[in-house]
Structure formats: structure tokens, C-alpha cells
A and B are shown apart, each in its own frame.
Chain A
């Protein structure tokens, strides 16, 4: 076992870990040593091939298909230098004020979070795409929603020099997306922060952690040789491994006894990918893949509609059925309009991350009848949007037939019955994992305080989306960065005490 020593150790390099690393980096100029330990690899620019299976195996855990315990859902989350910011679309939304207030985190208010979110909008070049760069897939969503009177907004996105590959979710092959891999981590490294890739932290001890470095066979070599390490963290450990790995790591390290809420109350924004087929080819996989969303049903039926564009395998597995009909729809790929629906799920204590007998993380999440109702309602709304946009037919996973033709558009309620929304039959996914180390008042109702400090453990912080006490109701990454900014500020403010 080799030994390393730092003042601050940050576990994870995604939206949370990357933001904390950059904010604390000035401490390196004062002689402090800071390390970021990242499980995933740092891919070379030429390794972003845009090939679906090649990329998902390199930048996602379980190739983007981690099952929940009951196998009703699959979860997609990133593993790379930059974490999930490598594989998100870069959509940058401020969390609504009402949601911040609902969280009821002592010391956290909307003005504070909004101010920090604006800072990252500036830092990561968030802006609206010009209208001429919006492709048909997005434009048709806008037209369909407007025809129905649904409220639509354009996504602010964090790209610079975007060439419209549409491959954002496989890692931008043009290095245009401004995730932490392009902005915060290089800035932190420039000031002296060491980033160790291919490094999996296995447990956290008293101001220290154990880790293993292994060569995955791709990407830049790690700064450290393969092997086992004990890393001293003289002042602070910041856990930013995400909703599955942060709670699992803390549970594996024995923090669960004093923290009954550790791992609990996760929310996932359960999602469906839906398709409508147009008469003629549309621009769908050329241009930026995701330009509009509708929050029309956010308060009433608890879902968001978003434009999306996925790849052949992901698309195929999200369709119901098989055989000739399925192939026919796949061959219509250039004519497909796609919508992603996100159910805004409630934080329930029994939905949680637990460990199996081998200490591996398991996501024990049950789709409630309320969420299934929401997914059903979202399918009806999406079908209406497709038809209002001019689709000739729609594929609804809960439909009584594989296709619903435009001539049947007035019978959508009858043709997509709630009874057909069956987990296991319908493909339900999640890419917005939240909760498990919730912020709150004390250990009876949360894991950390409003500054991400773990209750009762003054040297241990959490800085990722596991801090969310409830779901964000919008795409969460900007909020993760804003919260991480608070965590870093808290550490800096208490630097005298923590670093003495």
C-alpha cells in the first residue's frame, strides 16, 4: 500500500467535484496540497469517436444501463474526467424559486443559489442558440406545443464553438461542451490541484481514504501507477461521487450508524423517450439535439417535456415491441421526432441506495402509482405534441397498437390506456439522479447541513446532487455547481479552523 498526503481530497470530478476543485484551487498558492480522485479516465480528444457502444462503455457506469434493484428502470451516469458533465447535453436551467423554498434547507435561499448559478452561467458560457441553428426536431416541438397552447422555453446551453454533431450524450467530439472537463478542472490544475484519474476510492477513514488505481486500457495514463493507496487528507475530504457512489462510499465507510437518512430519499426524474414519425425526413441528428422544453404540466401533472435526440441502440430499446414493426420504425430514423418526458418524483425515504453483501451499491427504488400516472399523462401530452407538429403516426409505449395514426389523434385517451403502463414492459430510464445525502437541519432528517458538511463529522463534506432533499424539477447540473460553490465557500470560510 502506497501512501500519499494532501490537505484537501476531493472525490469525484463532475459538476460538484470540479466546481469545488476550482474554487479551492487558490489555496494551492498558499502552500496547500489538493487532490481530486476520479474513478473514470481522461479521454484524449481523438477518443471521442461518437460511436454509441464504444463511448458508453468508456464514459458511463455499466454502459449507461445500471439497473435499479427491481429492474424496472435503468440509470445513466458518467464516469470520466469531468464526471457526468462529459455526457450531459449542457442544458443549464436555474432551479425554480418555489422548489428552493420547498427544500426548507436552513440557510439556503433562492437569491443565494441564483447568484451562484449565474456565476456558472458566465463561467461556462451559457447562452441561447441562435434560431438559425435550431434543427427540425426542436422546431417541430416548438410548433406542436404552441399549436396546443403549451408554454415553451428555450434551453440555455453551455457550448462554445458547437458544430452541431448531436452527439453530446456520448461526449462532445468537437470539445465544444463546456463541462468541468473543459472549464473548472483545467483551471484548477493550472493553479496546482492534482487530478488523479482511474482512481476508485473504496472507503473513507478518519481524515483519510483508501483507493485503487487501475488502467482501463484507454485514455491518458493516470498520474499514479496502478496499485492500492492510502491517502491522508489532513484537513478536509469532499465527497462528490454522485447519487449512487457518494452514499455508497459513506455507508461502506461506516457513517450510516450515526446518519439514519444516509442513502435515503433519492429521486430520479423517471423518464420516457417517445417518438413520432413524420412523412418526410427532418433534420434530427444534425444540429444541436435539444433546444426547447415545456413546463406546462410541471405543477398540475408533475412532468416536463423536453426535445431529445438519441442514438440507434438507445432508441431501439425505448420502443415497445419487436420484429417487423419495430424494424420498420427504426428504418424511419431520419423521419423521427423525439421527446423526452421527465416525471417529477417525490422524495420518499424508502427509495434509497443500499449496499449488497459485497459492499456494492444497489439502488432500491420503487415506481409509485403516482409516478406511473404521471408517465401515462406525459405520453398523452407527447402524442398530442407530435400530432400537432404534423407527425403521420406516433409510437406510444403504452399504446394498444404499435402505431397510432394521425387519423386516430382524437382517440389518444382511449388508445393509450393507463393499464398498459407496466414497469418492465415499458423502458423507463433516468439521467437525473438526486438525493441520498440530503441537506437539512440535523441527523434526524438529513445527512449534511446547508453547507454540505456531514452532521457530526467536521472534516467531511458532500458536494454533488446527492445533497438535494427533493428533486430539482429541472435539469439539475447548474444547481449542483451552485451548491458545490457554497460547499467550497464554507470550507474557505472555515479554513483557519479546518486547515490549522
Chain B
């Protein structure tokens, strides 16, 4: 992954499993596709935006130190989810928007894989009308 350093990549993967639990079921190829999609999306953005994304991952990692005295990865999963819910509904708009951006990246990395379409029952066909009338 060219867009994020290894520690941020690990943090992203940890967060991905809280945001889309099925990411934990991805095989090696699925994980590679996940990171390729996210990498591609980040590399398409200006360097400043990539830096902001990496910084935000660091903010999520460190934020629980204030309340729980532990960084994000050391919390039990229910507390990790509570931290993420706080970010999603945070009174500070910038943090809400940062969390929305994180979610969008994770959703893109997982649901953007054609291979995961079947898992949600999404199977469009070029001749959808034939299927409609079948």
C-alpha cells in the first residue's frame, strides 16, 4: 500500500473489521483487493487529503486514551464500537466528517469488490429485462 504507512494500514484494517465485520472473513486475495481499492482511491486524492486521512486514523487510535486510558486497539470490541459511535455523532462537525470519510473508504474497499456483490445478493445482468420477465 503506497498511500499509508504500515502502522496506519494496520489501524485501517482493525477499523475495517468494526465497520464491516465481514472484512474479517476475506481471504488473502480479498484483503489484497480491499487495500488495492482503498489505495487507489487515496492515491487519486491530493497528498494533503491522504495526510488528513492518515492523521484521522491516528486521532481515532489515540482518542480513547482520554476516557479509557488505553489506545483504541487495546480496548475490548464493545468499547471500540462505542468510540466509533461517538465519532459518528460527535458535536464537532470536522470529526463527524472524518469518520464519514473513513466509513466510505472501508465500504469502498469491501463492497466495491465485485466478488462481494454476491454476498449481499446483488447480481445485476446486462439483460436484466429478461430476468424481470422470467
A residues sitting closer than 8 Å to B (CB atoms) are 50-53, 57, 62-63, 65, 70-72, 132-133, 135, 162-167, 173-174, 281, 283, 285-287, 311-313, 315-317, 320-324, 326-327, 330-334, 422-425, 427
Contact = CB atoms under 8 A, between A and B. Distances in A.
B104 A65 contact: yes
A69 to B, nearest CB: 11
A57 B20 contact: no
Contacts of B100: 71, 424-425, 427
A360 B26 CA distance: 38
Contacts of B84: 322
Contact of A133 (B81, B113, B132): B132
B121 interface: yes
Contacts of B66: none
Nearest to A309: B124
Nearest to A315: B111
Nearest to B46: A360
A71 B101 contact: yes
A286 B41 contact: no
A272 B98 CA distance: 19
B62 interface: no
A285 B122 contact: yes
Contacts of A312: 111-112, 116-117, 120, 122
A423 B130 CA distance: 41
Given A163-B127, A312-B111, A425-B88, A327 B117 contact: no
- Give the 4 A-B residue pairs with the shortest CB-CB distance, closest first: A164-B129, A424-B96, A164-B128, A286-B128
A467 B132 CA distance: 40
Contacts of B111: 52, 312-313, 315-316, 330
Interface centre among A62, A163, A331 (most CB of B within 10 A): A163
B67 interface: no
A332 B121 CA distance: 7
Interface centre among B20, B44, B100, B123 (most CB of A within 10 A): B100
A164 B18 CA distance: 36
Interface residues of B, number: 46
B93 interface: yes
Interface string B2-21: 00000000000000001111
A383 B109 CA distance: 30
A322 B87 CA distance: 12
Contact of A317 (B81, B107, B121, B125): B107
Given A51-B114, A133-B132, A423-B93, A330 B101 contact: no
Contact of B103 (A135, A174, A317): A317
B85 to A, nearest CB: 8
A165 B127 contact: yes
B79 interface: no
A422 B89 contact: yes
Interface centre among A162, A315, A323, A423 (most CB of B within 10 A): A323
Contacts of A317: 103-104, 107-108
Contact of B124 (A65, A71, A165, A327): A165
Given A173-B126, A286-B128, A331-B120, A323 B18 contact: yes
B31 to A, nearest CB: 16
B32 interface: no
Given A163-B126, A327-B20, A422 B120 contact: no
Contacts of A425: 88-89, 96, 100
B128 A313 contact: no
Given A174-B127, A317-B104, 14 more contacts: A52-B111, A52-B114, A53-B113, A71-B100, A164-B127, A283-B131, A313-B112, A320-B88, A321-B88, A322-B88, A323-B18, A323-B19, A330-B120, A423-B97
B44 A53 contact: no
